[in-house]
Amino acid sequence: MLMRISVFKWAQRISLSAWIGIVLLTMHLVMAACATWLAPYVPTAIDTNNMYQSPSMLHVFGTDRYGRDILSRVIYGGQFALFISMVSAVLSVMIGSIIGVIAAYVGGFFDEVTMRVIDAIISIPGILLLLVIVTGLGTGTSVIIFAMVLSYMPGVVRVIRATAQEYVTRDFILAARLRGERVKNIVWVELMPNIRDVLLVEFAMRASWIVLSVSGLSFLGFGVNPPTPDWGLMINENRSVLVLSPWGTIFPMIAVATLVVSLNLVSDEVAKMFGIDRGVRR
């Protein structure tokens, strides 16, 4: 009973915009997870008798140049973006926070070297870094995740290091050290719980930026390979027939936009809840 009341209160405290975000995000997650059951057609099935159809009862969002059902492609198209973004965001925040906390705790030469490398990576404009990596390693899921982690992790390191530095000099850390705790324990048990809020905000923010980057990369043709359904790729493929048949471009656009809007709304609320400023995208 007590539990239920607190959840209810918590729900009341959340602003309307955050609720919109949560609902949209849940919709996207359900759509991606249940694509197999939700999509009315096979997303790659070619039907040359029904090319460039406008929305109808048969094809709710119309069809593209190969007669593929756009609704099915939009439903499936989120899988790749969401999968890559979530994995990359989790990895960036995990690796970034570990490096950041250790740099703050150990300090000295290790800190200096780490931060110089981090500064250098941040000094490469995001998309440039992604494209340089893609040139060197070719496209592919693991390469894209690697590239995303490499370009979004340094920002996490900076933020987490700055936050952890505030705690490193506190007495409870000194006490732990005098008790003879191991570095591993101090990092995990003493420092990590204190930066949990910042971690959550970093994760929420970076997830939405990574979705934007991933869709941009697919749009440029360096994401998944056709005929795999993907929003960025769909927009690129159907852009040339924007006038003749705008459906293939507009629906994936709405899909990307609603996903990023929902992530932004949710991360705004998370940041507000913990009283942390959102940074500039990098």
Partner 1 sequence: MVLFVFRRLITSLVTVLVVAAMIFVATEVLPGDVATAVLGREATPKRLASLRAQLQLDRPAPERYREWLFAFVQGDWGHSLARPHIEIRPLVIERLRNTLWLSGIAGVLGVAISLLLGIYAGLHRNKWFDTIVSTISLIGMSLPEFVIGSLLMLLFGVVWALLPAVTIVQPQATLLDLLPSMILPALTLIIVMVAYILRMVRSSVIDVTQSEYVQMAYLKGVPHRRVVWQHIIPNALIPTINAIALTVAWLIGGVVVVETVFNFPGIGRLLTSAVSDRDLPLVQALGLVGAFFYIGTNMIADLMTLWLTPRLRTQYWQNAHEN
Footprint of partner 1 (CB under 8 A): 116-117, 119-121, 123-128, 131-138, 208, 212, 215-216, 219-222, 232, 235-236, 239, 242-243, 246, 249, 253, 256-257, 260-261, 264-265, 268, 277-278, 280-282
| Structure tokens belonging to residue 84 | 């890559």
> In this structure, how many other beta carbons lie within 10 angstroms of the beta carbon of residue 108?
8
Rounded distance between C-alpha atoms, residue 172 and residue 250, angstroms: 55
Q: If DSSP codes are grouped into helix, strand and coil, which group holds residue 63? A: strand
> ∠ at Cα 21 (277, 74), nearest 5°?
125
> CB-wise, 63 or 264, nearer to partner 1?
264
How many Å apart are CA 223 and CA 232, to the nearest integer?
8
Smallest separation, CB 100 to partner 1 (Å): 19
Task: Output 23 or 175, the one with its CB closest to partner 1.
Answer: 23
Nearer to partner 1, 140 or 193 (CB): 140
Closest distance to partner 1 from the beta carbon of 148 (Å): 14
Closer residue to partner 1 in complex, CB, 171/277: 277
CB of 197 to partner 1, least distance (A): 19
Nearer of residues 196 and 281 to partner 1, judged by Cβ: 281
Instruction: Say how far residue 61 (Cα) sits from the centre of its chain.
Output: 26
Shortest separation between residue 253's beta carbon and partner 1, angstroms: 5
**Closest approach of partner 1 to the CB of residue 85, in Å:** 13
* Residue 19: Cβ-neighbour burial (10 angstroms; 0-12, 13-18, 19+): middle
Q: Which is nearer to partner 1, 101 or 271 (CB)?
A: 271
- Report d(CA 84, CA 210) in Å as an integer: 8
**Helices 70-106 + 108-122 axis angle, to 10:** 150
Least separation, in Å, of the C-beta of 147 and partner 1?
10
Whole-number Å distance between alpha carbons of 198 and 97: 10
